[in-house]
Structure 1
Amino acid sequence: MPTLRELELAFVRGMFDATEVAAESFVCANGMAPAARLAIYRNNIVHNYREALRDVYPVIERLVGEDFFRFAADHYIPCHPSSQGNLHGFGGEFSTFLEQFPPAAGLPYLGDVARLEWNWHESFHAANGSAMAIDQLMSVAEAMLPSLHFQLHPSCRLLASPFPVDRIWAANQPDAADSVTVDLAAGPVRLLIRRRGDAMAIEPVGDSEFALLTALVQNMPLQAALDAAQVVDANFDLAAFLVQRVSDSTLAGFIVPTSTAIGAAALPGRGQRDQRSRLQKRDLSVNRA
């Protein structure tokens, strides 16, 4: 007599591999062959997985066609079954799968288009974030500024690609003109994907800002994030960045470390005091607008 775990494992294997027959010995015929009973379950499960992928990746399906998409999905599903009951989390590895799928080798941009769609999907379903005010930042002691850890809005996602995936995505929306063409040599792109209220947005960002945002996502303190930005652009304007990204809620908050070694570290440029002065002036101009 099999244990419950052995029975469950045999059933799961049978759901994703029609040649796996171990589960059939545990199923009563009762007017229908065990293989036929299991096939009903298998077909329903695979159908639900396919539909979940279609919901997340409509642009991919439009690019490759319905038949190829189904073909790719049927190869993907057995290798990457959902690890949770909520299918919102299913399909996250599809971009990497497409890059490694030999029949799709002639479409090198496909993986990054899939990453854009997955980021869109995650952003759409992300939690609502709290807003912060620039006054909160102004209340922090100057010596603590380099060590602040900023938090992005929960819906924010970053994507870098050598291909113009934002234009490919836009050209394959239901309301796009049929005559739109995309120059694949028009990349690379650095994108911020996020939700603004109830609306979704895909925003191109500059290389230096992308470097800073990436560092913040990696939980680097402000000083290290600014260093990353200034490797790309020595004249990166931190004050302008903070005002813009606080006002549009890309930055949702920050953490002040409980203990910080304060010494040689200082925001570059003309010093922390100058950065704070410029931040105040920019904040006043925003408030008047």
Structure 2
Amino acid sequence: MPKQIEALQRIFAQSLDAEQRLILPLLQAPPCRDAARHTDLLNQRIEFYRSGIRAHWRAALAAAYPVLLAQVGEGYFDELAIAYAQAHPSQSGDLNCFGAALPAFIETYETDPHSRYFADLARLEWSLHIAYFAANTEVLAREAWLAMRPEDLLDAKFAVHPACALICSPYAIADIWTAHQTNAAFPAEIDSPTWALIVRPGWRPAILGQCAAAYAAFAALQRRATLNEALDAAFTINAGFDFTSQWRAWIEAAAITGLAPRVHEPQECLARRCR
């Protein structure tokens, strides 16, 4: 009997987003005088569960993608949430991880050229979402940085804050996101490239604008390249790159937290599980 109940529960869960005719025969009671009323009651109960689980899906995605929701509107977002959940059922009891595949899903779901930036906007929002849950870490004090000799830093490798993520897009996704936070004007030109770094200097993720050279340098530091190697990557793109100002911005935003430890011990955190 326990195995039969378990099998029925599994079928019921799978049928919550399928045609009810697949589950109804398994739930039918023995023949009764009012079979039609009994079937209607089962339909109502299944629809109750279906509506509940879809509401949870939608709420989880809306929490991770508020700007995308504002851009596309309620109706579109509801349809997107259902289509996404059907293609990518939740694999975790933690719905904070549910939307991880949405940016890639949008690339195939949305074909309207006017919506060409939706997928990259979603990538930006997902990076902000998981940055919020990233592990905390100690940050080297400003005084400690000032005490280091520049020549000692050139061959050093550095630790990057776990919340940091680089975002690159041919569209003005950072400006679109910012417009929704401050009621600023929507960017006049969508086809304007974005290089951005997600940071979390305190407990609130933010977007730090980057140039192409800064993007290349930080990507090198994330790969545990030395500062010399990171500078080479930046100056290859722009010989006039102002590294001093950029380094100061990274330190102030806690993007660089200190010197890299000799032995890296992986940390279990939501950000890593969801990437």
Change (3 A) 1:49 1:29: farther
- Residue 231 of structure 1 deviates from its aligned partner by 2.3
The whole-number CA distance in structure 2 between the counterparts of 1:104 and 1:74 is 19
- Residue 88 of structure 1 deviates from its aligned partner by 1.5
- Structure-2 residue corresponding to 1:131: 139
- Residue 253 of structure 1 deviates from its aligned partner by 2.6
- Paired residues of 1:124 and 1:155 also in contact (CA < 8 A): yes
Which structure 1 segments of 5+ residues have no match?
Answer: 259-289
- Residue 75 of structure 1 deviates from its aligned partner by 0.9
- Structure-1 residue corresponding to 2:16: 15
1:214 pairs with 2:215: no
1:122 pairs with 2:163: no
- Structure-1 residue corresponding to 2:155: 146
- Structure-1 residue corresponding to 2:189: 184
The whole-number CA distance in structure 1 between the counterparts of 2:246 and 2:174 is 23
TM-score normalised by L of structure 1: 0.72
The whole-number CA distance in structure 1 between the counterparts of 2:92 and 2:25 is 27
- Paired residues of 1:151 and 1:251 also in contact (CA < 8 A): yes
Q: C-alpha deviations, 1:25-48, integer Å up to 9, x for none?
A: 554759954454333222211111
Change (3 A) 1:231 1:47: same
- Paired residues of 2:164 and 2:255 also in contact (CA < 8 A): yes
1:112 pairs with 2:151: no
Note the 1:59-208 alignment, pairs <5 A: 59-102=67-110, 104-133=112-141, 135=144, 146=155, 148=157, 150-173=158-181, 176=183, 180-185=185-190, 187-208=192-213
Change (3 A) 1:61 1:29: farther
The whole-number CA distance in structure 1 between the counterparts of 2:179 and 2:252 is 30
Letter in 1 for 2:155: P
Secondary structure (helix, strand or coil) at the match of 1:146 reads: coil
- Residue 87 of structure 1 deviates from its aligned partner by 1.5
- Residue 233 of structure 1 deviates from its aligned partner by 2.5
- Paired residues of 1:98 and 1:104 also in contact (CA < 8 A): no
Q: C-alpha deviations, 1:215-267, integer Å up to 9, x for none?
A: 23334444443332232124545555444423432111332547xxxxxxxxx
The whole-number CA distance in structure 2 between the counterparts of 1:109 and 1:83 is 27
Instruction: Quote the RMSD (CA, aligned, Å).
Output: 3.3
Which structure 2 segments of 5+ residues have no match?
Answer: 31-36, 264-275
1:42 pairs with 2:44: no
Give percent identity, aligned residues only.
Answer: 30
- Paired residues of 2:20 and 2:43 also in contact (CA < 8 A): no
The whole-number CA distance in structure 1 between the counterparts of 2:97 and 2:74 is 22
- Residue 53 of structure 1 deviates from its aligned partner by 1.4
TM-score normalised by L of structure 2: 0.76
The whole-number CA distance in structure 1 between the counterparts of 2:179 and 2:153 is 46
The whole-number CA distance in structure 2 between the counterparts of 1:8 and 1:227 is 59
Letter in 2 for 1:40: F
The whole-number CA distance in structure 2 between the counterparts of 1:55 and 1:195 is 18
- Paired residues of 2:60 and 2:98 also in contact (CA < 8 A): yes
Change (3 A) 1:166 1:239: closer
Secondary structure (helix, strand or coil) at the match of 2:79 reads: helix
